[in-house]
Structure 1
Amino acid sequence: MTVPDFLPSHVVPPDGMPTWSAPDAARPTVPLDPLLPVQVVERRGDWARALCSNGWSAWVDGRLLLPVPQGPPVAGQPPARTADPRPLLSAVEKDLGRFRQLTEELCAGRLDGESFAEQTRGVRVGAVVDGNAVWLYDARHERWCYCDGTSVETYAVEHPPAGSSGADDEGPAGEPRGERGKEPDRERGEPDVRPGGES
């Protein structure tokens, strides 16, 4: 049986995903099957309530859902924004360059071990390049992103979804508040990537 007006907005990742009966990591329930179409009907911070075609719904980590491609834009409508991978690539390159510079100063004896440790504390850089596919670590949001050269989307996250069932976790129209819901800081090279693959 299919729920009337069920319109998938996302699909479950290829490995499936855990679910919770409430936006609370302590209340797990039955996992969702890989690539199952779902409709996101509510968001609270990183959490998303996913509705299945049979009417069953559960809370999931909305950052990991894969958005369903939309149809062609209607004439006269502004083009949809896609996450530009260049700011994240620049941020990774900058952090790696800084680490290399400090390493060279350490090896040349211009920097002692204690100073090296202090200046590199908190630096986290990650990049895997395999042909035209790139995985980049977004340290500010503590997540790995997948980049195909023209767009970037969340691939994996380090922590369970943040946010509670309180209304304070959302801004107007369900827009998440706090660190993960803010506009990117382009001067710091932050990517235009939103939780759940939205852009």
Structure 2
Amino acid sequence: MKFETLLKRCFSDISFEFGVHPLDSKRAKAMFDTAIRENIPMRKVLELAKSFLEENHCDSTKIDQELKRIQRHKHRIKSTLKATKAWLITREYTDGRESDVVTFISGRKSSDTVLELMEQLYLVNECSNYEKLHYSKSRRNNPYPAEYHRRDGIPYSGLMFCGSDPFYKARKVENVVVDIEGVSCWDELTRT
């Protein structure tokens, strides 16, 4: 189901009040959970809600009232997700731009599994169709194979790289927290 549809189902049918009825409240919780999972920031939720209310000919006072209700409702639910350990894959740039989070992967996955996933993510997100087709014929044709970081010639399975510019970097992190705004924070693990 599309996120916009989930959001619209949180409003009552006649009065367009957000999350007032118990069923609407349950739908609102599911909608906020989906927003967190899909990395949809709160400002986008509010923009979509405002657009929906405008489409249904609500006046500006009603719109402001319902947007405030959405923000109050957000604070009543669990709006952060936490993980003690996870693999983090980021998109890094060589020109000094800030890195982007590509994804988090369960900390229970092996480093070999993460290496393969990162390679696939890089191909899907960063490579041309020609490169993708060339790779599909044989894994050896990968223009940007993922590899473990090496220190003094010894591979370290806790840090991996894939690609050129931008390149992907995977490492294990701990104390991961992601909130509904999409803000992520974590502690880097140091190599022992």
TM-score bracket relative to the smaller structure: under 0.3
Q: TM-score, normalised by structure 1?
A: 0.20
Q: TM-score, normalised by structure 2?
A: 0.21
Larger radius of gyration between Structure 1 and Structure 2: 2
Which is richer in helix? Answer: 2
